[in-house]
């Protein structure tokens, strides 16, 4: 069973969202997602300052197995990207909820967070998919 | 659920992630395929390859039968235990399968016989094809050996670690093995062959002993490795994978297997010979090359290769190379390819270097 921390929010595309305060959220992929991907070898992330709407492509994760798009789970502006992933993409596998984070977004539509899944909702979704 | 090898419980105990592969439930990794890959390049790893199909070829005309069935010539096997890599072709010169054949007996003694190892995904087709061509040959019998499990132990320390768990008499047998040679020992078969580009052994073990053998290797610090690492290792070594790099519609001459076609003696008839001779006379239009992407990204099977703005082939196998830290691929392209070309990667044209299809041998980069 994969690890699903109860203090985070989730979306069906297997990303997690952590509230960092001040209208900023951190985003990464879940433990379940990194397990499906296998060893991550490259992560391509957007530039700081770029604006995205929900569902936009914001990057690509390449694992040994396949390339997967990352979609913006919420609308907003990129305020930080995890530059560590450039040299150490394996952090996505070893610490998906910590050092393996991808980006931080300043939200432009705070109301969108109402549609996010909680840990139980995400766990159910993973169960239904397996 | 697929078939299970005799090591299935060991894989579960060792936390393997199991996937369906050619009708079998096989480990894809035991955690990280990249870490498993590095273990094989620097130390020793072991693979359960019991899903491979082992067929013994016996009978008075077994040698003549294999000389007709295979594009390579088993006459080259002049010493007991010697191994030969060959394509088994159809009449059109396409590859039915690729295989290893071992001479199991002393060539100077009557009653010689051979052991053939073919792929698991092609098992039924291969067995039918082989059986369909025995009629012309006296007394040839094909016997499948499903009761033999197979473990590949590969890496610079593989031989030493295997020897550390075997009896003195078996250690002596293994010490005497040259590359591409095998030896039988009380129902076991030890061959210095593999699919990783490293030194090592492939060991056929009666299935009732294989779990203990696997555990003893594990206790001797040999790392269990899955099919994921097996694929990145073989691709770095420039070894073909049947079904991706070649199949029944592909000539060995366009699949970097020209070296496995024994043209001499010219009067040896083998299946596919006349088709290959015509291809050779007309000139082969395509060849297999290696591609190296020095920038970020991973080359994948079926991505199109572009030369001077025109589509000129495709990637047959692509992956991330853990040893080199960049992506590599094998591609079939038009024979006039220069030393760079482009690949259409998800809609973007990316420049790649063209090299011979071999990237890493014995832990070292081999192209410049």
Q: What is the pLDDT of residues B205-253, one digit of tens each?
A: 999 999 999 999 999 999 999 999 999 999 999 999 999 999 999 999 9
Q: Which residues of A touch B28 (CB under 8 A)?
A: 38
Between A3-7, A121-125, B63-67, B107-111, the lowest mean confidence (pLDDT) is in: B107-111
Interface membership of B323 toward A (CB under 8 Å): no
* Confidence class for position B108, pLDDT limits 50, 70, 90: confident
User: B29 and A67: CB-CB below 8 Å?
Assistant: no
* Residues 6+ away with beta carbon under 8 Å from B90: B96, B129, B248, B271, B272
Neighbour-count burial of B58, counting CB atoms closer than 10 A to its CB (0-12 exposed, 13-18 middle, 19+ buried) = middle
All domains in chain A, ordered by first residue: 9-129 (2.40.50.100)
pLDDT at B284 over 70: yes
Between B100-109, B156-165, B310-319, the lowest mean confidence (pLDDT) is in: B100-109
User: A39 and B297: CB-CB below 8 Å?
Assistant: no
Report the distance separating Cα B144 and Cα B142, nearest Å: 7
Report the distance separating Cα B312 and Cα A59, nearest Å: 29
Give phi and psi for B170, each to the nearest 5: -75, -35
Render the burial of B76-94: b for 16+ CB within 10 Å, e for the rest. ebeebbbbbbbbbbeeebb
Residue A8 is classified by DSSP as S
Q: Catalogue the E-assigned strands of B281-367.
A: 286-293, 304-307, 310-321, 326-334, 340-345, 348-355, 360-361, 364-365
Q: Which residues of A touch B300 (CB under 8 A)?
A: 66-67
User: B34 and A42: CB-CB below 8 Å?
Assistant: no
- Cβ atoms of B69 and B88 within 8 Å: the answer is yes
- Give residue for tokens 């008839």: B269
Q: Which residues of A touch B298 (CB under 8 A)?
A: 41-42, 62, 64, 67
Of A39, A66, A67, the CB nearest to B34: A39
ipTM passes above 0.90 = no
Average pLDDT over residues A3-14: 95
Tokens of B156: 């610079």
What pLDDT, in 10s, does the model give residues A91-119?
999 999 999 999 999 999 989 999 999 99
pLDDT the model gives residue B9: 98
- The CB density around residue B67, as the number of other CB atoms within 10 Å, is 19
pLDDT the model gives residue A1: 61
Average pLDDT over residues B23-45: 97
Average pLDDT over residues A31-55: 95
Give phi and psi for A98, each to the nearest 5: -120, -105
> B23's torsion region: left (phi>0), alpha (psi -120 to 50) or beta?
left
Q: In terms of DSSP bridges, do strands B45-48 and B223-224 run parallel, antiparallel, or are they unpaired? A: parallel
User: B33 and A38: CB-CB below 8 Å?
Assistant: yes
Average pLDDT over residues B198-210: 98
CB pairs under 8 A between A and B: 36
Residue A8, CB half-sphere, CA atoms under 13 Å: how many?
A: 23
Best of B18, B32, B37, B235 to mutate (most A CBs within 10 Å, chain A): B32
- Cβ atoms of A105 and A74 within 8 Å: the answer is yes
- Cβ atoms of A85 and A92 within 8 Å: the answer is yes
Report the distance separating Cα B141 and Cα B161, nearest Å: 37
pLDDT at B71 over 90: yes
């Amino acid at each position: 069973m994969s690890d699903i921390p109860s203090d985070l929010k989730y979306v069906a595309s297997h990303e997690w969202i952590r509230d960092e305060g001040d209208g900023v959220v951190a985003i990464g992929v879940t433990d379940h997602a990194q397990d499906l991907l296998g060893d991550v070898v490259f992560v391509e992330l957007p530039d700081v300052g770029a604006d995205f709407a929900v569902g936009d492509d914001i990057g690509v994760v390449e694992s040994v197995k396949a390339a997967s798009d990352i979609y913006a789970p919420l609308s907003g502006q990129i305020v930080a990207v995890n530059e560590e992933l450039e040299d150490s993409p394996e952090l996505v596998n070893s610490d998906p909820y910590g050092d393996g984070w991808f980006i931080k977004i300043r939200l432009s539509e705070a109301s969108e967070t109402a549609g996010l899944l909680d840990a139980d909702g995400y766990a159910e979704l993973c169960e239904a998919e397996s | 659920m697929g078939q299970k090898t005799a090591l299935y419980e060991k894989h579960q105990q060792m936390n393997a992630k199991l996937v369906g592969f050619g009708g079998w439930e096989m480990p894809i990794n035991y955690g990280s395929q990249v870490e498993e890959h590095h273990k094989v390049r620097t130390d020793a790893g072991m693979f359960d390859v019991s899903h491979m199909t082992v067929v013994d070829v016996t009978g008075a005309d077994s040698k003549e039968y294999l000389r007709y069935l295979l594009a390579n010539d088993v006459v080259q096997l002049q010493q007991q235990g010697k191994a030969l890599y060959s394509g088994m072709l159809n009449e059109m010169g396409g590859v039915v399968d690729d295989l290893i054949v071992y001479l199991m007996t002393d060539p100077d003694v009557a009653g010689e016989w051979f052991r053939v190892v073919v792929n698991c995904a092609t098992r039924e087709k291969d067995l039918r094809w082989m059986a369909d061509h025995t009629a012309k040959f006296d007394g040839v019998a094909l016997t499948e050996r499903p009761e033999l499990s197979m473990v590949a132990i590969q890496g610079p320390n593989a031989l030493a670690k295997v020897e550390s768990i075997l009896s003195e008499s078996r250690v002596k047998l293994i010490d005497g093995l040259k590359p591409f040679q095998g030896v039988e020992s009380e129902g076991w078969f030890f061959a210095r062959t593999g699919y990783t580009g490293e030194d090592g052994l492939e060991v056929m073990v009666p299935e009732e002993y294989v779990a203990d053998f696997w555990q003893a290797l594990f206790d001797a610090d040999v790392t269990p490795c899955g099919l994921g690492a097996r694929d990145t290792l073989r691709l770095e070594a420039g070894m073909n994978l049947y079904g991706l790099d070649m199949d029944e519609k592909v000539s060995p001459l366009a699949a970097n297997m020209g070296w496995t076609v024994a043209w001499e003696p010219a009067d040896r008839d083998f299946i596919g010979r006349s088709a290959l001779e015509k291809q050779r006379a007309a000139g082969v239009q395509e060849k297999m090359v290696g591609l190296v992407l020095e920038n970020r990204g991973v080359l994948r099977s079926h991505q199109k290769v572009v030369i001077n703005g025109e589509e000129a082939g495709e990637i047959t196998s692509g992956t991330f190379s853990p040893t080199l830290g960049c992506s590599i691929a094998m591609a079939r392209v038009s024979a006039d390819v220069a030393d760079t070309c482009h690949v259409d990667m998800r809609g973007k044209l990316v420049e790649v270097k063209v090299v011979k299809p071999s990237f890493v041998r014995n832990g070292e980069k081999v192209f410049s």
